[in-house]
Amino acid sequence: MKRIIIFASGSGTNAENIITYFQSNKKAEVTHVFSNKSHAKVLKRALDHGIKALYFDRESLYDSNEVLHIVKDAEPNLIVLAGFLWKFPENIIVEYPNQIINIHPALLPNYGGKGMYGMNVHKAVVKNKESFSGITIHYVNENYDEGGVIFQAKTALLETDTPEDVATKIHILEQTHFPKIIEELLYK
């Protein structure tokens, strides 16, 4: 059985979508969800599905090997960042080369980098009057949003779209494609 662990910072809709996608899968499962926010809704979503949910603080992630040891104990085949807002630590990246992926709510290299997440991205896309936007699933390296691109999907935007409209369109792409790409990566 292939093992997936998820890192998330927020409500966890993408994480829950991944969990439910793999619940009926006989070859892969989500075993752990990690969050850097003790009250993140993603932790409750994980627990509701019988998934181990763990909170960690900045010191545990960056100033010690505590989170690395917990990750190693989980024995993941793939580490998935689904709305995880902190820069991923180098000690875990080094330990799991090409086994850590992230989803970004834009077509990288556009609208990537520090501070470019969620509504910040969608507001910038609307402000620049883009005619389309999309998602990028990519490998994680030591720099924000600069790892190798695995998959991109795009959606058309209307001149009248608000950042909220863009967010809705992007969320549909995330929900549709992210679990399928994870599954493909596990078996390639």
pLDDT in tens, 97-112: 999 999 999 999 999 9
Whether the predicted pLDDT of 188 surpasses 90? no
Whether the predicted pLDDT of 88 surpasses 90? yes
Whether the predicted pLDDT of 12 surpasses 90? yes
- Quick check: pTM over 0.75? yes
pLDDT, one tens digit per residue, over 125-163 is 999 999 999 999 999 999 889 999 999 999 999 999 999
Whether the predicted pLDDT of 182 surpasses 90? yes
| Residue 128: how many other CB atoms lie within 10 Å | 9
The span from the CA of 174 to the CA of 51, in Å, is: 21
Mean pLDDT, the chain, integer:
96
pLDDT of residue 7: 98
Calculate ∠ Cα 82-48-69, nearest 5°.
Answer: 55
Q: State the average pLDDT over residues 169-176.
A: 97
Confidence of residue 81 (pLDDT cuts 50, 70, 90): very high
Angle between helices 13-23 and 41-48 (to 10 degrees): 10
Residue 168 has phi, psi (to 5 degrees) of -65, -45
Give the domains, in start order, of the chain with CATH numbers: 2-107+136-152+174-186 (3.40.50.170)
